[in-house]
């Protein structure tokens, strides 16, 4: 009987692929490695179960023709799915991997479900392609899990976007997640300790000129297009305010993460996100227009938007000057004065100079002069703070 002619010459034990060639494959490959989409699924399932019974976990280049379920299976030896192809969704829910597992160069045509899976050893997802959602909700990582170059553009057609959920992930003493050279624009981390995550050359969701976590986008869209995200939130009994608080926690730890790495520009975006979620987490702060957080947001973008702060400073100056002109401003000799003089009068008032060369004609004009001593210095302070944060983080 001829054996499989797969390019995979050696298994981990140093032997040739011992599976018999499947008569239905024109290239002489075994039922496991055959790339025919219509290959006999019952024969494939028998061969797969035989490998699992022998604890032969070398699945390199294996083509899974339909839905595959390895849920709750316990892999007590190293597992290799490198180059494997999954034609449908793969269910590895509550699966336990006692040693290392490799999904490098694997291709998932639909969802890859790792909900509540346990990874006791190192994990590799390098150059992996996942066309559907990747579900890692409640998964446990005891070692390093590396996610590199996922859904990387390699051909003429654009790659599918990487959509994943790392909700409420738990870690062992040495557990951590490493993300490198990939987009996290559609990855949700709700309830996960971001201090156990490492980021190298990753791209976040861009929203209104700042980088955000996808959880904020889902929150703004009231769950977005993915039902799985809402399900996870409601499973933990979170209302809108509770979700805002959890997303704010993500931003807080991300800010610390990037500050420690010396990336102050990214830290500034995440500081904005943290403050935004803190404002939204309380109905009073969210809805009352004159709450401190609403004013801080509107007037300076939480101390991160210098152009916004400058715009408000100029708007206040010219607005107060125009009102003073309308209410009446005269010289010491009683001659009416225009906008230019009113602006100079307002600036002198703001710097605590009491100009003797002009005076308001009405009590309203006196009030504007008094307000300028409070509003303009306060807005100038917000502008200085925003400039300090913005320029200091771009060194």
Counting other chains too, the contacts that 174-179 makes at CB distance below 8 Å and 24 or more residues apart are 174/142, 174/143, 174/144, 175/140, 175/141, 175/142, 175/143, 175/144, 175/145, 176/141, 176/144, 176/145, 177/141, 177/145, 177/147, 178/144, 178/145, 178/146, 178/147, 178/148, 179/147, 179/148
Of the pLDDT bands very low, low, confident and very high (cuts 50, 70, 90), residue 224 is: very low
pTM for the model: 0.82
> What pLDDT does residue 342 have?
87
Candidate from 28-32, 312-316, 329-333 with smallest mean pLDDT: 329-333
Question: Could you tell me if 168 and 137 are in contact, meaning their C-beta atoms sit under 8 angstroms apart?
Answer: yes
pLDDT tens-digit profile of 2-59?
A: 667 665 544 444 556 778 888 888 888 888 988 888 888 899 999 999 999 999 999 9
> What pLDDT does residue 293 have?
86
**pLDDT reading at 315 higher than 70:** yes
Planar angle of CA 170, 136, 230, nearest 5 degrees: 105
Secondary structure (DSSP) of 219-247: HHTTTTT-HHHHHHHHHTT--HHHHHHHH
Once rounded to an integer, what is the mean pLDDT over residues 317-333?
Answer: 88
Q: Tokens 């991300």 identify what position? A: 254
**Does residue 157 or residue 367 have the better pLDDT?**
367
Question: Could you tell me if 281 and 241 are in contact, meaning their C-beta atoms sit under 8 angstroms apart?
Answer: yes
Percent with pLDDT over 70 in the chain: 90
**Does residue 333 or residue 122 have the better pLDDT?**
122
Once rounded to an integer, what is the mean pLDDT over residues 197-203?
Answer: 94
Instruction: Give residue limits of the domains in the chain.
Output: 205-287, 297-392
> What pLDDT does residue 228 have?
43
CATH for 297-392 is 1.10.287
pLDDT tens-digit profile of 151-190?
A: 987 655 788 899 999 999 999 999 999 999 999 999 999 9
**Does residue 353 or residue 226 have the better pLDDT?**
353
């Amino acid at each position: 009987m001829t054996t499989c002619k797969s390019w995979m010459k050696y298994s981990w034990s140093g032997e040739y692929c011992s599976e018999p060639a499947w008569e239905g494959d024109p290239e002489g490959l075994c039922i496991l490695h055959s790339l025919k989409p219509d290959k006999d699924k019952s024969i494939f399932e028998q061969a797969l179960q035989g490998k699992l019974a022998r604890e032969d976990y070398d699945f390199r280049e294996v083509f899974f023709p339909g839905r595959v379920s390895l849920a709750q299976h316990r892999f007590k030896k190293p597992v290799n799915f490198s180059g494997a192809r999954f034609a449908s969704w793969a269910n590895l829910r509550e699966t336990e991997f006692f040693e290392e597992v490799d999904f490098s160069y694997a291709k998932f045509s639909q969802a890859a479900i790792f909900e509540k899976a346990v990874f006791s050893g190192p994990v590799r997802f390098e150059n992996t392609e996942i066309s559907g959602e990747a579900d890692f909700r409640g998964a446990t990582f005891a070692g390093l899990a590396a996610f590199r170059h996922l859904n990387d553009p390699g051909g003429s057609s654009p790659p599918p976007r990487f959509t994943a959920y790392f909700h409420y992930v738990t870690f062992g003493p040495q557990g951590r997640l490493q993300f490198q050279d990939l987009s996290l624009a559609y990855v949700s981390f709700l309830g996960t300790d971001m201090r156990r995550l490492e980021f190298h050359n990753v791209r976040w969701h861009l929203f209104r000129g700042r980088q955000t976590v996808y959880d904020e986008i889902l929150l703004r869209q009231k769950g977005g297009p993915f039902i799985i995200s809402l399900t996870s939130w409601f499973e933990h009994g979170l209302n809108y305010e509770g979700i805002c608080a959890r997303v704010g926690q993500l931003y807080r730890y991300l800010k610390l993460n990037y500050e420690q790495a010396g990336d102050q520009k990214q830290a500034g975006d995440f500081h904005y996100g943290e403050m935004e979620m803190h404002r939204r987490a309380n109905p009073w702060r969210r809805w009352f227009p004159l709450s401190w957080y609403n004013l801080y947001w509107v007037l300076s973008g939480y101390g991160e938007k210098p152009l916004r702060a400058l715009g408000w400073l100029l708007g206040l100056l010219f607005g107060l000057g125009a009102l003073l002109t309308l209410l009446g401003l005269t010289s010491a000799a009683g001659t009416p004065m225009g906008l230019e003089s009113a602006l100079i009068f307002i600036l002198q008032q703001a710097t605590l100079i009491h100009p003797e060369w002009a005076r308001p004609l009405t009590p309203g004009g006196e009030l504007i002069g008094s307000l300028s001593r409070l509003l303009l210095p306060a807005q100038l302070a917000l502008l200085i703070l925003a400039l300090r944060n913005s320029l200091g983080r771009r060194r």
